[in-house]
Amino acid sequence: MHHDIQEIGKRAEVPTPCFLVDESLLARNLEILAQVQRASGATIILALKGFAMWSTFPQIAKTLRGTTASSVNEAKLGFEKFGGEVHAYCVAYRDADMDYLRKRCHHITVNSLSQWQRFQHFAGQEETTASFGLRINPEYSEVTTEIYNPCRKGTRFGITAADLAQQDPSTLEGIDGLHFHTMCEQNSDTLERTLEHVEAKFGRLLHHMKWLNCGGGHHITRPDYDRDRLARLVRHLRNTYDLDVYLEPGEAVALNTGFLVASVIDRFDSDGHPIAILDTSASAHMPDVLEMPYRPEIIGAGEPGEKAHTLTLGGTTCLAGDVIGEWSFDNDLKIGDRLIFTDMAHYSMVKTNHFNGVDHPAIARYHPETDEVIIDRRFTYADYRDRLS
């Protein structure tokens, strides 16, 4: 697999930098998700915040029933390019947001009781198509990176069981479902422990709900993921509470399907340390490298010191910290060499920016049946200019 992509990434028709998604790898993930839906009875929808490469939506829509949005713009993309069910969850909705979404969405989850009190009157109105839900905070999370922990002290996300218990029962009139999202890149054993807290604190309420959304962060397509356990947990929820169960992964849909192809555009030593500058950027094109932080893999490269030549790879922006990391190579890098970063489909594409006005990576798909690289989008000066005024 990697050897093929490495050769494909060297083709003249592939510009650099370029995000390249292998449709056969995406198909592999979708078959896994289809198996989970069949075994569990869950409905799996695509979280656009994680992966929104809409040229792949016709392929994904054959397996997944719809999308979930974190903004009106994402919802519009779901309506326009994916079809099927469109769900929405936002930390807060403006009046115009809610008026638009309630007439089009399948589910809308509100984040707080104050938001629900503001919009409760829409429930059941003739123009309202949406079923309303409330985000809960089970006060349990195994996410260790603080910036990604939705259950940290003083969190903005969801309502606790204690706060809910203080409300008059009429407060929840019109609420059909509950939603929680406390996971990030985790296995189904984490979900099992999380559900113990959800059921202990909100089980009585679940008996009165039509649906439960277990959010994202389920690494379903990872090789070591326990899918049998996931199916058992979903079946338990459906049978115990007589409700529909939704899962909304973004990362698991696109996990290990995409690559970022970059070229070496300079090579020099700094204080005796070898440095290669690429035509890509951690800051602009793969910001999670700095935020998480994490170190992506490069096809053919090793850990520092593992191979003969260890180099620091830097981006093209003026940010001093725009350093992608250190890797070792069998041969020293030279101008024109191409490097292929793995697992660059989810989150990288949706979090890119135009800092410094650097060239934005093209977006492409590899279609293995025809051995064709399809360039879906090239970005130009106008794309940078038109973000500003």
Whether residue 337 sits in one domain with residue 313: yes
Inside any domain, residue 35: no
CA dihedral of 77, 82, 88, 90, whole degrees rounded to 10: -40
End-to-end Cα, the chain, rounded Å: 44
Whether residue 298 sits in one domain with residue 204: no
Q: What is the per-residue pLDDT for 108? A: 98
Residue where a domain terminates, one of 188, 219, 254: 254
Distance CA 317, CA 332 (A): 23
Contact 82, 250 (CB under 8 A): no
Residue where a domain terminates, one of 254, 284, 312: 254
Contact 17, 260 (CB under 8 A): yes
Whether residue 162 sits in one domain with residue 138: yes
Inside any domain, residue 27: no
Contact 294, 259 (CB under 8 A): no
Whether residue 315 sits in one domain with residue 206: no
Task: Express as a percent the part of the chain with pLDDT over 70.
Answer: 99
Whether residue 72 sits in one domain with residue 218: yes
DSSP state of 326: E
Q: What value does the mean pLDDT of the chain take?
A: 95
Phi, psi of 68 (to 5 degrees): -125, 140
Q: What is the per-residue pLDDT for 82? A: 98
Whether residue 101 sits in one domain with residue 11: no
Whether residue 238 sits in one domain with residue 137: yes
pTM of the model as a whole: 0.94
Query: What's the total number of domains in the chain?
Result: 2
Inside any domain, residue 159: yes
Inside any domain, residue 76: yes
Write b or e for each residue in 143-163: b if 16 or more Cβ atoms lie within 10 A of its Cβ, otherwise e.
beeeeebbbeeeeebbbebee
CATH code for the domain in which residue 78 is found: 3.20.20.10
Inside any domain, residue 175: yes
Whether residue 70 sits in one domain with residue 124: yes
Inside any domain, residue 31: no
Whether residue 205 sits in one domain with residue 316: no
Whether residue 212 sits in one domain with residue 72: yes
Distance CA 343, CA 19 (A): 10
Banded pLDDT at 170 (limits 50, 70, 90)? confident
Whether 28 has a pLDDT exceeding 60, the answer reads: yes
Q: What is the pLDDT of residues 331-383, one digit of tens each?
A: 999 999 999 999 999 999 999 999 999 999 999 999 999 999 999 999 999 99
* Contacts for 155-158: CB closer than 8 Å, 24+ residues apart: 156/91, 156/111, 157/91, 157/111, 157/181, 158/111
Residue where a domain terminates, one of 208, 228, 254: 254
Whether residue 188 sits in one domain with residue 67: yes
Q: What is the per-residue pLDDT for 167? A: 87
Whether 3 has a pLDDT exceeding 70, the answer reads: no
Contact 133, 178 (CB under 8 A): yes
Q: What is the pLDDT of residues 56-114, one digit of tens each?
A: 999 999 999 999 999 999 999 999 999 999 999 999 999 999 999 999 999 999 999 99
Whether 1 has a pLDDT exceeding 50, the answer reads: no
Inside any domain, residue 26: no
DSSP codes of every residue in 333-385: --TT-EEEEES-STTTGGG---GGGPPPPEEEEEETTTTEEEEEE---HHHHH
Inside any domain, residue 239: yes
Whether residue 287 sits in one domain with residue 222: no
Whether 2 has a pLDDT exceeding 60, the answer reads: no
Query: What residues form DSSP beta bridges with 314?
Result: 277, 323
Q: What is the pLDDT of residues 210-244, one digit of tens each?
A: 999 999 999 999 999 999 999 999 999 999 999 99
CATH code for the domain in which residue 350 is found: 2.40.37.10
Q: Which domain holds residue 304?
A: 2-21+257-385
